[in-house]
Amino acid sequence: MVSRRRQPVSDHVTPSSVPAGTAPDAAGARLSITWIGHSTFLIQAGGLSVLTDPIWSDRASPVQFAGPRRHSPPGLSFDALPAIDAVFLSHDHYDHLDSVTVRRLVPRYPDAQWIAPVGVGAFLRRRGADNVAEMDWWQSRTFGGMSVDCTPAQHFSGRYPWNRNSTLWAGWVIGLGGKRVFFAGDTGLHPEFANIARRFGPLHAAILPIGAYEPRWFMRPVHMNPDDATEAYVRISETDGSAECVFVPSHWGTFRLTDEPLDEPPRHLLRAWMAARLATSRLRQLSPGETLALS
């Protein structure tokens, strides 16, 4: 049996590019995407602000004294958040659905719309969320001035050994202020990326995961590495036919969940990007707290 030597644990901390405590303005037609860390993004356009997979806790774990700890502080402090109109969840794993953060968001934004894959709504309702919508793959809905499309992902779910795959996992195409952002959630490389672009494009940004990929023999089905993420982007952009869609990497640099060093994914991604001969202007690697503004 062939084994792979585990890489030394790295305490690398991804630097924040702006001080925590500042948030972009959601007004106007400009699309703003702020990386808070891991898969948590603040997406704003047309006067609306939404969060994806929010986690402000120190650990991605059912308890805060054990489990994967945060190596990079949130790029935006919780108290600095603007008014939140909607929260999107990709699935129920601890690094994407954090109970402590949900309990903080619910009373602060009681009118926020919570949007989750099928089966995840019960978790949110038990923590006080009232406006909960569950969606299945390929379903589309509108909420106020926002369009929402639920997309397939290749992953799994379950917070405990006895409820594995009892709820759905998904990605989202989020339409705000005339802009469309594809948040892929947590996924391996799958054959539906082109169909997503065909059905729900044109896309202005694709937020794709690039971390938690080693050992490859084990993680390949459920986590893309940078080569896979580059391939997913190529399928999206070739089908979409738009030169506007940019790639924003996610799911790296915050929690050490697998064997690769925390700071390896973006270096690997740049090599894959250059090998694919893609325009460097379409790769938008953010630091925590950094905002990408697309007019």
The 10s digit of each residue's pLDDT in 242-265 is 668 999 999 999 999 999 999 999
Q: Over range 91-101, report the average pLDDT.
A: 96
Please spell the DSSP secondary structure of 21-88, one letter per residue.
T------SS-EEEEEEETTEEEEEETTEEEEES---SSBSSSSSSSSSBBSS--SS-GGG-----EEE
Quote the CA–CA distance of 268 and 265 in Å, as a whole number: 5
Does pLDDT of 26 surpass 70?
Answer: no
What share of residues in the chain are helix, strand, coil (percent, to 5)?
Answer: 20, 25, 55
What is the spatial distance between Cα 61 and Cα 183, in angstroms, rounded to a whole number? 23
Q: What is the mean pLDDT of the chain?
A: 90
Helix axes 226-240, 264-275, angle to 10 degrees: 50
Contact indicator for 8, 67 with CB cutoff of 8 Å? no
- Looking up tokens 């997503």, which residue turns up? 196
Mean predicted confidence (pLDDT) in 108-124: 97
Q: Which residue's entry shows tokens 């001035």?
A: 145
Q: Is 137 left (phi over 0), alpha (psi -120 to 50) or beta?
A: beta
| Other CB atoms within 10 Å distance of the CB of residue 33 | 26
Fold of 31-294: Metallo-beta-lactamase; Chain A (3.60.15)
Taking only Cα atoms into account, the Rg of the chain, rounded to an integer number of angstroms, comes to 18
Rounded-to-integer distance, Cα 213 and Cα 79, Å = 33
d(CA 58, CA 61): 9
Alpha carbon distance 182, 190 (integer Å): 15
> How large is the average pLDDT for residues 29-48?
94
The answer to whether the CB of 109 falls within 8 A of the CB of 50 is no
* pLDDT over 70, % of the chain: 90
Rounded Cα–Cα distance for residues 200 and 225 (Å):
24
Q: Kindly list the distances between the CA atom of residue 6 and the CA atoms of 10, 69, 135, 214, in Å, as whole numbers in the listed order.
A: 11, 18, 38, 9
Please give the backbone phi and psi of residue 188, each rounded to the nearest 5 degrees, phi first.
-85, 170
Q: How far apart are CA 206 and CA 172, in angstroms?
A: 10
**Across residues 168-186, what is the average pLDDT?**
96
pLDDT digits 0-9 by tens, 184-237: 999 999 999 999 999 999 999 999 999 999 999 999 999 999 999 999 999 999
pLDDT the model gives residue 246: 96
Amino acid identity at 24: P
11: part of which helix (H) or strand (E)? none
Q: Which pLDDT does position 163 carry in this prediction?
A: 77
Q: Record the pTM.
A: 0.92
pLDDT at 92: 92
- 3-state secondary structure (DSSP) of residue 8: coil
Query: What is the rounded distance in angstroms from the CA atom of residue 80 to the CA atom of residue 100?
Result: 17
- Mean pLDDT over 257-280 rounds to 95
Name the pLDDT band for 22 (thresholds 50, 70, 90): low
Residue 7's pLDDT band, with cuts at 50, 70 and 90, is very low
- 133 pLDDT more than 90: yes
φ, ψ of residue 225 to 5 degrees: the values are -95, 180
8 pLDDT band (50/70/90 cuts)? very low
User: Is 240's pLDDT higher than 90?
Assistant: no
Residue 68: per-residue pLDDT: 85
In 3D, which of 210, 250, 249, 247 has the Cα closest to residue 226?
210
Closest C-alpha among 118, 131, 125 to residue 103: 125
Q: What is the pLDDT of residue 28?
A: 64
Average pLDDT score over residue span 4-20: 44
- The answer to which of 2-16, 54-68, 117-131, 152-166 has the lowest mean pLDDT is 2-16
**pLDDT tens for each residue of 40-95:** 999 999 999 999 999 999 998 877 877 789 999 999 999 999 999 999 999 999 99
